[in-house]
């Protein structure tokens, strides 16, 4: 059985992206080099940031997917949005209610979408 527990994003500069994510999630990477950085998230998932210039086989343009992060309430969605706006993240979608819950979408410096959401009950 396969278990998806490692996300790798292809980035322009792993060092710059590691600084961005370290600030965003409030922890330092477990591993960092000029071509790769890795974080261990509280969920147990690992987040890797690999240079799109050195990955083999070569990578296409970044930004074709998203990382979704659940928070504890609709109010937490709004609070996280306000925090990320203060940090200067580009917001693609302001907080809104969709069929699955309250959500907003931002992007990281490489164009990867970051969705924060709280699912509706029931």
The CA distance from 53 to 59, in Å, is: 8
14-25 and 74-87 helices, crossing angle to 10°? 140
Residue showing tokens 């699955």:
100
pLDDT on residue 76: 97
Tens-digit pLDDT string for the chain (122 aa): 667 889 999 999 999 999 999 999 999 999 999 999 999 999 999 999 999 999 888 877 665 678 999 999 999 999 999 999 999 999 999 999 999 999 999 999 988 999 999 999 86
pLDDT on residue 31: 95
pLDDT on residue 62: 60
pLDDT on residue 121: 85
pLDDT on residue 2: 64
pLDDT on residue 64: 63
Answer yes or no: CATH 3.40.190.10 is held by domain 6-51.
Answer: no
CATH number assigned to the domain covering 66-119: 3.10.180.10
**For residue 42, what are its two tokens?**
């509280």
Q: What is the domain partition of the chain in residue ranges?
A: 6-51, 66-119
């Amino acid at each position: 059985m396969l278990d998806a527990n490692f996300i790798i994003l292809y980035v322009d500069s792993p060092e710059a992206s590691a600084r961005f994510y370290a600030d965003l999630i409030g922890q330092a990477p477990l591993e960092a080099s000029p071509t790769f950085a890795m974080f261990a998230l509280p969920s147990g998932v690992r987040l890797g940031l690999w240079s799109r210039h050195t990955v083999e086989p070569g990578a296409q343009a970044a930004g074709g997917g998203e990382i979704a992060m659940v928070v504890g309430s609709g109010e937490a969605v709004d609070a996280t949005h306000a925090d990320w706006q203060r940090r200067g993240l580009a917001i693609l979608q302001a907080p809104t209610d969709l069929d699955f819950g309250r959500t907003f979408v931002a992007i990281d410096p490489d164009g990867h979408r970051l969705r924060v959401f709280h699912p509706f009950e029931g």
